[in-house]
Amino acid sequence: MRPWQTLALPSEEGLGVTGIDISPLVIKVCKLRGLMGAKVMSIAEVGRFNRDSFDTVIMMGNNFGLFGNFRRARSLLRTLRRITAPNGLIVAESTDPYGTENPFHLRYHKLNRKRGRMAGQVRIRIRYQKYVGDWFDYLLVSKKEMLNILRGTGWRVKEFIDSRGPQYVAVIEKT
């Protein structure tokens, strides 16, 4: 699983796309594959974009998790509200962390709650061959938790789209 985000930007030719990722190698591949609007950038840096820059923010591949934790999610959602058009949308995928019976996962949930973290908040890093990334928090949330995170940020769930497993997609609109 490779975390990355795509922000859609209108253009004269139709729909332009700006893709962001913290990995220069991922951005290089994106550009080689034709995404000229790819930028090396963390999700924490999206506030650099101007007001109303994007119509839609797409966070597929479980990338609601890039918000990391409850507080950071709410802060970034407010930022995304500013940089999206008045009728802006977020299309985000997440996994309900409670959709498991794995005892290791359940113990991790319990440890997280004991530490004051959300049950589905995980601390990970990406490793591929000789490449090792920095540690970061990744947030898996239930639908109820997502609704709680969105409360007061200027966003609400328009629709949940379920899958056969614990993954789901939320279409999120401005309030």
Contact assessment for residue 5 and residue 79, using Cβ atoms and an 8 Å cutoff: no
CATH number of 161's domain:
3.40.50.150
Q: Does residue 102 sit within a domain?
A: no
Looking at the structure of the chain, the number of domains it has is 1
The parent domain of residue 44 ranges over: 5-97+138-174
pTM above threshold 0.85? yes
Strands 136-139 and 121-124, sheet pairing: antiparallel
Write the pLDDT tens digit of every residue in 52-70: 999 999 999 999 999 999 9
Predicted confidence band of residue 133 (pLDDT cuts 50, 70, 90): confident
Q: Does residue 105 sit within a domain?
A: no
